[in-house]
Amino acid sequence: MYILALIQSFLASIGRSVLGLCRSTGSLVMFALTTVSHLFRPPYYPGELVQQLIRIGYFSLPVVGLTTLFTGAALALQIHAGGSRFNAESVVPSIVAIGIVRELGPVLGGLMVAGRVSSSIAAEIGTMKVTEQLDALTTLSTNPMKYLVLPRVAAATISLPLLVAVGDVIGIFGGSLVGIGRLDFNAATYVQNTVNFLETSDVTSGLVKAAAFGFILSLMGCYHGYHSGRGAQGVGRATTNAVVSASILVLAANYLLTEVFFR
């Protein structure tokens, strides 16, 4: 009898977890669909969109730039060290460029912006919910989804491909600094190899990934902020959940998009 009760308790806990996951997934999907639907219904708030483009895009540029710069430099050293085992040191420029543009640029850019932006959005909207500013907006006949959520999601979706494009250039430049200054590559040969091996599909796939990552990370920040609990503890939990869920979904989406582009 005791063993049967343990089995029932174990199965019940699994059932509660599955039902909770389905409930959360459904809530998130409905939140995303509602956000996208507001794109086709006025009124619009261009001033709020421009403000979020500056906050999300322009202010994230130093973080993304420094991350990709050092990543490109470290990648050049690692590829040279590995290639030297097979007398293939000449592949450094091409592999650095392809690695940065296809994978490291979008993924690292998405993760860094997720840490900076998702937490900020969740804390801001969560605090507005705690202080009943969301209710005040509704009272003033202003839809919080349209005024707060849509501009942030749109700004992140637009600005992240631009950030990643700049980060790709900086990352390749970081690799060239190490390749030319540290590994004794000829500058003209390094640049020529980089240009020859990069294809348009490499660049476009990375930018499409970046747009998807921008949508995901901003959506998770808005979702967790909008559904945060009451008090400082609820806002803190929403901020943590936003960063964790955005980072995991960015990595999962990266795998799925890589399957689509490079099957």
For the stretch 134-173, pLDDT in tens is: 888 888 888 888 989 999 999 999 999 999 999 999 999 9
Q: Kindly report which listed range (16-20, 56-60, 177-181, 215-219) carries the lowest average pLDDT score.
A: 16-20
Express as a percent the part of the chain with pLDDT over 90: 46
Residue 20 lies in a domain: no
Indicate if the pLDDT at residue 231 is higher than 80: no
- Per the structure, how many domains does the chain have? 1
Q: Quick one: pLDDT band at residue 1, thresholds 50, 70, 90?
A: low
Residue 68 lies in a domain: yes
Instruction: Quote the pTM value.
Output: 0.90
Say how far apart CA 122 and CA 234 lie, in whole Å: 11
Residue 60 lies in a domain: yes
Residue 117 lies in a domain: yes
Residue 105 lies in a domain: yes
Range of the domain at 145: 45-261
pLDDT at 139: 85
Residue 24 lies in a domain: no
Residue 34 lies in a domain: no
- Give 93-144 pLDDT, tens digit per residue: 888 999 999 999 999 999 999 999 999 999 999 988 888 888 888 888 888 8
Q: Quick one: pLDDT band at residue 204, thresholds 50, 70, 90?
A: very high
pLDDT at 253: 94
Residue 195 lies in a domain: yes
Indicate if the pLDDT at residue 189 is higher than 90: no
